[in-house]
């Protein structure tokens, strides 16, 4: 779930909550995977906003593609 969606859903109960992210900051292009993600957004999703959720989705998609390539025969 995205941070903004979570904050909207919990409303006032968010006071005092701590939210952590399980991935790098999607704006830190010093990380090679982030740099690749940003380039893909620029090339294929011109209007997309840089967000943790889309970066997580990019990682999952990349992982799936790599696993499919490594599979013998039809995946």
- The predicted-structure confidence for 7-45, as pLDDT tens digits, reads as follows 888 888 878 877 777 888 899 999 999 999 999 999 998
Q: In whole angstroms, what is the distance from residue 71 CA to residue 74 CA?
A: 7
- Residue 31: predicted pLDDT: 95
Q: In whole angstroms, what is the distance from residue 25 CA to residue 75 CA?
A: 32
pLDDT at 5 over 90: no
- Residue 14: predicted pLDDT: 78
> 59-71 pLDDT, tens per residue?
999 999 999 999 9
């Amino acid at each position: 779930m995205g941070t903004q969606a979570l904050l909207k859903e919990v409303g006032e109960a968010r006071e005092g909550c701590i939210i952590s992210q399980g991935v790098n900051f999607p704006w830190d292009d010093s990380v090679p995977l982030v740099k690749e993600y940003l380039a893909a957004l620029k090339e294929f999703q011109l209007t997309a906003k840089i967000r943790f959720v889309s970066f997580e989705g990019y990682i999952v998609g990349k992982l799936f593609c790599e696993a499919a390539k490594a599979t013998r025969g039809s995946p």
